[in-house]
Amino acid sequence: MNNQSKYISGFAAIVFGAAVLLPLVSLVFGSLFVEGGLMITNFTEIFQQRTVLLSILNSVIISILASFVSVAIGCCFALLFTKTDLPFRKVLFFLLLLPLLLPPYIVTVAWTDVWLFLGISKNLVYGLPAVVFILSTIYVPLAAFIISGSLKNISASIEEAGLMMTDYKTLFFKIILPLLRPALFSSFILVFILSVSEFAVPAYLSVNVFTTEIFTQFTAFYDYSSAISYALILTAICLLLILPENHYLSKAPFVSFGKKSFRQLTVSLKNKNFWLIIGFAYIVFVVFLPITMLVSQWLIGDSISFVDIVELLFPALKDSLLLSVVGSLLVTLLGFAFALMSVKYKTKAIDSILLFVFAIPAIVTGIALVKFYNSPMLNFVYGTSLIILIAFVARFLFVSQKIIAGGLMQVPDSFREAAIIMGAPPFYTFRKITFPLLADALFTSFFIILIFCVAELTTVIMVYPPGTSFLPVRIFTLMANAPQSTVSGMCLVALLSTLSLITIMMGGRKLLINQQWKRTQ
């Protein structure tokens, strides 16, 4: 590795360490070490409370089930939409993404309205199975996206060799599934962490989970020391799941990317109509049903007009999308630098540190940032949108680093070494060799982080500068007393604007890839 990339990685590490890690570590140590000693009583008290233990159990059950269901269904759809010749598969895959673009709280409200409208018993609506169902519908697209990337990377020659010996079913279980295991495991972990940190969905459905306990300590008792002890237990649960497999995960691409040189085997479906009906049925009953409920509430209710809703949200929409684009770009750049450290320098501690930061609940991250940056010297950060960008880095760098590291692992060193031997300068080599091969990974990182940034509420509400307005904050602060029809209308406007942005980005990506392809030709 050349000096330039060392300096870039070093600079990124310093920025991350000072901007994100330092505030978090100082908050954790400040809360746990009081008067020179460890506040061990916080932990012992937690494990003596039956209700708290039950809430931990609920959290773990919900997260495991939601992760399992999301990965299982996500894997099926990834196979169907990536490996087969199913008609409309690209449209279906795009539609599958929709639940991920809505705030989980809104999805929950919409689903409960659907169920109660259909006359389903309240005992079923308000309970643990409903939480698992809703979280699964939200995270199926995420798992499908990750697994699809990995599937695209399986060379046709491997599958063709297998098919000479056996049928596709056996091939799938003996060859494809083992090759997919890293992606399956990665998506399981990501969904697990996102589910275990979720507060809004279980709270609305009256299920006591561990995040409720953390939230209660912060917002009802204002006991930061206990709240942080609770949060550390949540983080430990995530790390417990991940650390034993860390060596396995760190070698696995979080999302794998196909190369133009790879041929991909497309399986011809025998019963296309059947699979098409399955795909459409899922989209209609799982994706469109809650959205239809939002649309009907908006149309039937006495809402303000669509134009008025757009006007109401426009300042927040503009700021939010702009800041999310900048945030996503920044996170992706840092993700690239950290991926370099992890993949090229084999600095494995990086993965664990980023994972630790990602697993810390959003409210703790918010409080850490407020405590650290709210000083006269750092007002230029705390009083401005810079604090939001730092919050985005803290929340999502792990995801970006994993995506890009996956891509980076697939760039053969020999390509770059050949260019250097030919006398190409390092930056020229990066621009002409590494970057084009990594473009898909960088784009995917940008795309996923953008979705996360637009929807991020918990950290943003803690740090957003006075006088500014961000879309999720705007929607949630208006919804408390706005009519349901207006709230539904606002959510639809938010959904449409995010969709438009994604469509533009996808168009841009296609254009970029086509240009590259032409140049290569």
Q: How far is the CB of 359 from another protein (least distance, A)?
A: 21
Q: How far is the CB of 384 from another protein (least distance, A)?
A: 4
Our CB check for another protein shows the closer of 344 and 348 to be 344
Our CB check for another protein shows the closer of 84 and 468 to be 468
Cα-based distances in Å from 91 to 47, 86, 167, 276, 500: 49, 11, 29, 12, 15
Our CB check for another protein shows the closer of 7 and 33 to be 7
The pair of three-digit structure tokens given for residue 386, joined into one six-digit string: 């810079």
DSSP letter (8 states) at residue 302: -
Can residue 61 be called a binding residue for another protein (CB under 8 A)? no
Can residue 208 be called a binding residue for another protein (CB under 8 A)? yes
Whether 74 contacts 143, CB under 8 Å: yes
The pair of three-digit structure tokens given for residue 19, joined into one six-digit string: 């901007």
CA proximity to 142, closest of 93, 196, 80 = 93
Our CB check for another protein shows the closer of 429 and 458 to be 458
Q: How far is the CB of 112 from another protein (least distance, A)?
A: 9
Q: How far is the CB of 342 from another protein (least distance, A)?
A: 21
The pair of three-digit structure tokens given for residue 408, joined into one six-digit string: 């980076």
Q: How far is the CB of 249 from another protein (least distance, A)?
A: 31
Q: How far is the CB of 473 from another protein (least distance, A)?
A: 7
- Containing 257, the helix (H) or strand (E) segment is none
Sole binder of another protein in the list 35, 48, 51, 169 (CB under 8 A)? 51
Whether 136 contacts 201, CB under 8 Å: no
Can residue 48 be called a binding residue for another protein (CB under 8 A)? no
Contact flags string 296-335 toward another protein, x per CB under 8 A: -----xx---------------------------------
In three-state secondary structure terms, 33 is: strand
List the interface residues with another protein, window 170-199 (CB under 8 A): 199
Contact flags string 7-36 toward another protein, x per CB under 8 A: xx--x-------------------------
Measured between alpha carbons, how far is 86 from 70 in angstroms, rounded to an integer? 21
Q: Which residues contact 263 (CB under 8 A, 6 or more apart)?
A: 155, 156, 157
Our CB check for another protein shows the closer of 359 and 368 to be 368
Can residue 122 be called a binding residue for another protein (CB under 8 A)? yes
Contact flags string 211-240 toward another protein, x per CB under 8 A: ----xx-xxxxx------------------
Identity at 443, one-letter amino acid code: F
Measured between alpha carbons, how far is 172 from 178 in angstroms, rounded to an integer? 9
Measured between alpha carbons, how far is 188 from 63 in angstroms, rounded to an integer? 9
Can residue 119 be called a binding residue for another protein (CB under 8 A)? no
DSSP letter (8 states) at residue 286: I
Taking 3-state DSSP, the helix, strand and coil percentages for the chain, each rounded to the nearest 5, stand at: 80, 0, 20
Stretch that binds another protein, among 140-148, 178-186, 365-373, 408-416 (CB under 8 A): 365-373
Q: How far is the CB of 430 from another protein (least distance, A)?
A: 12
Measured between alpha carbons, how far is 187 from 191 in angstroms, rounded to an integer? 6
Whether 394 contacts 357, CB under 8 Å: yes
Our CB check for another protein shows the closer of 48 and 481 to be 481
Which backbone phi and psi does 518 adopt, to 5 degrees? -60, -45
List the interface residues with another protein, window 463-492 (CB under 8 A): 464-467, 473-474, 476-484
Q: How far is the CB of 361 from another protein (least distance, A)?
A: 13
As a residue count, the chain comes to 521
Whether 486 contacts 303, CB under 8 Å: yes
Can residue 457 be called a binding residue for another protein (CB under 8 A)? yes
Can residue 374 be called a binding residue for another protein (CB under 8 A)? yes
List the interface residues with another protein, window 62-101 (CB under 8 A): none
Q: How far is the CB of 60 from another protein (least distance, A)?
A: 17
Identity at 262, one-letter amino acid code: F
The pair of three-digit structure tokens given for residue 125, joined into one six-digit string: 């609506």
Cα angle 495-148-82, degrees, rounded to a multiple of 5: 100
Query: Under the rule (CB under 8 A), what is the footprint of another protein?
Result: 3-4, 7-8, 11, 51, 54-55, 105, 113, 116, 122, 199-200, 203-204, 206, 208, 215-216, 218-222, 301-302, 367, 370-371, 374-376, 379-386, 457-458, 461-462, 464-467, 473-474, 476-484
